[in-house]
């Protein structure tokens, strides 16, 4: 029996089908979940994919956070179920307060789409064990509300507890995907909760799982193989 990974579709979600493809590429079963349905259909983990749920109106993730499916996701996440929020999914996770901080408009105020270099700072979360600590990966970034902010105390706590899971790599030419693309505080690209089961990040691992498509790199596949291993070994 393989692992069942749920992929939530909110109205306006865009990357649900790509995320399902990435889940399958890693060898797990992808289970579509609908925002109005509280039932998680016995999935072992959930991905909240990217997109513009509810058009990103009001604030990115603000409206979807109140959907029925999220009631169950929040409950299960607190009980330890692995949850990954990608881009809009990360924004939803901050709005639910499963992850601290908030996402604001990029400091240059534009949408940015590029291949982004990040460093995996925490390779012990449910979603990152297939990476080496400190490993640099390159995956697509595409958003307009990608600037991570939190107050100093929260930031210090995240650092102290090793909960900055991914950081933008800044020491290289920006044409090659280096640099902080949006003004995120402390170059934070993604974070984890204390238990390591809930992870959110802005760049899109699901767009980097096949050679030739997108950037032609497969650096994102590790997210999905990590969770598969964890669930199968559990």
Partner 1 sequence: MARVVVDVMLKPEILDPQGQAVQRALPRLGFEGIADVRQGKRFELEVEGPVDDAALARIHEMAETFLANTVIEDFTVRVDEAVRAES
Partner 2 sequence: MSLDTVKHAAGTPDAGQPWAELGLKEDEYARIREILGRRPTGAELAMYSVMWSEHCSYKSSKVHLKQFGEKAPENDALLVGIGENAGVVDVGQGYAVTFKVESHNHPSYIEPYQGAATGVGGIVRDILAMGARPVAVMDPLRFGAADHPDTKRVLPGVVAGIGGYGNCLGLPNIGGEVVFDPCYQGNPLVNALCVGVMKHEDIHLAKASGAGNKVILYGARTGGDGIGGVSVLASETFDDSKPTKRPAVQVGDPFQEKLLIECTLEIFREKLVAGIQDLGGAGLSCATSELASAGSGGMRVELDTVPLRDSSLSPEEILMSESQERMCAIVEPDKVDRFLEICEKWDVIATVIGEVTDGSRLEIFWHGEQIVDVPPRSVAHEGPTYHRPYARPDWQDALQADDAGKLPRPANAAELRAQVLQLVGSPNQASKAWITDQYDRFVQGNTVLAQPEDSGMVRIDEDTNLGVAVATDGNGRYAKLDPYAGAQLALAEAYRNVAATGARPLAISDCLNFGSPEDPAVMWQFAEATRGLADGCQTLGTPVTGGNVSLYNQTGDVAIHPTPVVAVLGVIDDVTRRTPVGFAEEGQLLYLLGDTREELGGSAWSQVVHDHLGGLPPQVDLERERLLAEILISASRDGMVDAAHDLSDGGLVQALVESCLHGGKGARVVVPDDLDPFVFLFSESAGRAVVAVPRSEELRFTDMCGARGLPVTRIGVVDGDELAVQGQFDIPLDELRTAHEATVPGLIA
Residues labelled as active-site residues: 87, 204, 206
* 110 contributes a contact to partner 2 by CB under 8 A: yes
| Nearer to partner 1 among residue 25 and residue 144 (C-beta) | 144
- Within 10 Å of residue 36's Cβ, how many Cβ atoms? 10
Q: Please, are residues 121 and 133 in contact by the beta-carbon 8 Å criterion?
A: yes
CB of 64 to partner 2, least distance (A): 12
Q: What residues contact residue 79 under an 8 Å CB cut-off, 6+ apart?
A: none
- Closest by CA to 138, choosing from 198, 192, 214, 59, is 214
Name the one range near partner 2 by CB under 8 A: 39-47, 106-114, 123-131, 194-202.
106-114
CB of 69 to partner 1, least distance (A): 13
* 66 contributes a contact to partner 2 by CB under 8 A: no
- Within 10 Å of residue 104's Cβ, how many Cβ atoms? 17
* 213 contributes a contact to partner 2 by CB under 8 A: yes
CB of 163 to partner 2, least distance (A): 27
Name the one range near partner 2 by CB under 8 A: 8-16, 97-105, 152-160, 223-231.
8-16
119 binds, among partner 2, partner 1, none (CB under 5 to 8 A by kind): none
CB of 233 to partner 1, least distance (A): 36
213 binds, among partner 2, partner 1, none (CB under 5 to 8 A by kind): partner 2
* 214 contributes a contact to partner 2 by CB under 8 A: yes
| Nearer to partner 1 among residue 107 and residue 170 (C-beta) | 107
149 binds, among partner 1, partner 2, none (CB under 5 to 8 A by kind): partner 1
Question: Rule CB under 8 A: which residues touch partner 2?
Answer: 11-12, 14-15, 17-18, 21-22, 51-52, 54-57, 110-114, 140, 142, 144, 175, 204, 206-207, 210, 212-215
């Amino acid at each position: 029996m393989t692992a069942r990974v749920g992929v939530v579709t909110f109205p306006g979600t865009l990357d649900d089908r790509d995320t399902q493809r990435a889940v399958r590429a890693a060898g797990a079963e992808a289970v579509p979940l609908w925002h109005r349905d509280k039932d998680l259909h016995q999935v072992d983990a959930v991905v909240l994919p990217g997109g513009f749920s509810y058009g990103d109106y009001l604030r990115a993730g603000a409206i979807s956070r109140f959907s029925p499916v999220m009631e169950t996701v929040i409950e299960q996440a607190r009980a330890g179920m692995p949850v990954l929020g990608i881009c809009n999914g990360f924004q939803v996770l901050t709005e639910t307060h499963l992850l601290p901080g908030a996402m604001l408009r990029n400091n240059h105020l534009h949408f940015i789409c590029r291949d982004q270099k990040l460093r995996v700072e925490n390779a012990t979360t449910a979603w990152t064990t297939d990476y080496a600590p400190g490993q640099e990966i390159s995956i697509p970034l595409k958003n307009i509300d990608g600037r991570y902010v939190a107050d100093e105390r929260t930031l210090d706590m995240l650092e102290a507890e090793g909960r900055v899971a991914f950081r933008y790599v800044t020491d290289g030419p920006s044409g090659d995907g280096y640099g902080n693309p949006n003004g995120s505080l402390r170059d934070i690209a993604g974070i984890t909760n204390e238990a390591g089961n809930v992870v959110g990040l802005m760049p899109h691992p699901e767009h980097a799982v096949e050679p030739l498509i997108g950037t032609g790199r497969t650096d994102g596949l590790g997210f999905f193989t990590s969770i598969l291993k964890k669930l199968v070994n559990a």
